[in-house]
Amino acid sequence: MTRQQYCIANWKMNKTPSEGAKFVNNFKIKDLYNSQVKIILCPPYPTLISVKEELIGGIELGAQNVHFETKGAFTGEVSTSMLKDLSCVWVILGHSERRHVFLEEDEIIQKKLVRVLKDGLHPILCIGETLTERESGKTETVLESQLNSALDGVDSETSNLVIAYEPVWAIGTGRTASLDMIADAHKTVRRILSNLGFNGQEISVLYGGSVNPDNAEELNSIDEIDGFLIGGASLKEDSFYQIYRSFK
């Protein structure tokens, strides 16, 4: 089974529009030789515009969030049509920072996911357990509950869905999950997807959490991993490119 591979930069709240444009200008002159790997940049909202202007074919644009309503009195929010107008193709949903810092609940994530798919964007759905949940043996229950809730009402035939397994305790901590832990979690995700009626073997499942140029090759040796969602190490052109080069 060959699944699509992804190398995705989540810049979080980093990079002004001019910094984003500079990144793309430096990055796009590199040899993006591997057509099997989709490169996606997810800048903060204002930076989407300048990044879009500098993009070349082979690099796609993603947003870090979106609202589930189409328009109206929702101060501070952004709609799917606004993102599509900027040639955005992807949207990160359910990121642990949205869940834990902004208290976004499963119900909201589900509404956003349904909206995103309905409007022809592709969700990158993030799931993952906290350290306490892992240490109390609840990883599988958490993943099951997050997938169950987020995918409620979603057509199981959809091919436009990417899952990112990001253990909360590995995000921004320099602490990567072990290869066995990741392989197990990814197998669990596929099993849950299949139980929900989706084709768990076909959906790409990415890993995120302290991925960097030093560990990317080893992580990429796990068959279960279909690519990465990268935070800190995606902020510099060279380290993001080195991670891209770890794909075989």
Residues annotated as part of the active site: 95, 166
**Tokens 């991670």 found at:** 243
Q: Which residues does residue 92 pair with via DSSP β-bridges, in sequence order? A: 124
Nearer to ligand 13P, 175 or 248 (CB): 175
Nearest approach, Cβ of residue 232 and ligand 13P (Å) = 3
**Min CB(10)–ligand 13P separation in Å:** 4
- Give the count of alpha carbons within 13 A of 130, CB side only: 6
Question: CB-wise, 1 or 103, nearer to ligand 13P?
Answer: 103
Q: In the beta sheet, which residues pair with residue 5?
A: 37
Tell me the CA distances in angstroms from 195 to 147, 156, 198, 200, 216, one per residue in order. 11, 11, 7, 8, 30
**Which of 184, 151, 148, 137 shows the shortest CA–CA distance to 165?**
184
Helix, strand, coil percentages in the chain from 3-state DSSP, rounded to 5: 40, 15, 45
Closer to ligand 13P by Cβ: residue 128 or 200: 128
Q: Give the binding site for ligand 13P (CB under 6 A).
A: 10, 95, 166, 171-172, 208-211, 229-233
210 vs 220 by CB, closer to ligand 13P = 210
| Nearest distance in Å: CB 77, ligand 13P | 21
Minimum CB distance to ligand 13P, residue 175 (Å): 9
Sign of CA dihedral 179, 247, 24, 206: negative
